[in-house]
Amino acid sequence: MSSAHQPEASASKPVLYAIGCGSPLTRDLHRLIAAGQRDGWDVCAILTPDGRKFADEPALARQTGHPVRWAYKDPADPDVLPTPDALVVAPATVNTVNKWAAGITDTLALGLLVESQGRGVPIVAMPFTNAAMATHPAFQEGLRRLRDWNVTVLFGEDVLPLHAPGTGERYIHLFPWDRAIDVLRTRLGGELAN
Ligand SMILES: Cc1cc2nc3c(=O)[nH]c(=O)nc-3n(C[C@H](O)[C@H](O)[C@H](O)COP(=O)(O)O)c2cc1C
Domain boundaries, the chain: 15-73+81-191
pTM of the model as a whole: 0.93
Return the residue whose CA atom lies nearest to atom 11 of ligand 1: 93
- Which mutation among 19, 23, 153 tests ligand 1's pocket best, with the greatest number of atoms within 8 A of CB? 23
Q: How many CB atoms lie under 10 A from the CB of residue 131?
A: 12
- CATH topology for 15-73+81-191? Rossmann fold (3.40.50)
* Nearest-angstrom CA–CA distance, 116 and 118: 5
Chain centroid to Cα 92, Å, comes to 7
Whole-angstrom Cα distance, residue 28 to residue 193? 27
Banded model confidence at residue 40, pLDDT cuts 50, 70, 90: very high
Looking at the chain, the whole-number percentage of residues with pLDDT higher than 70 is 92
What pLDDT is stored for residue 189 in this prediction? Answer: 84
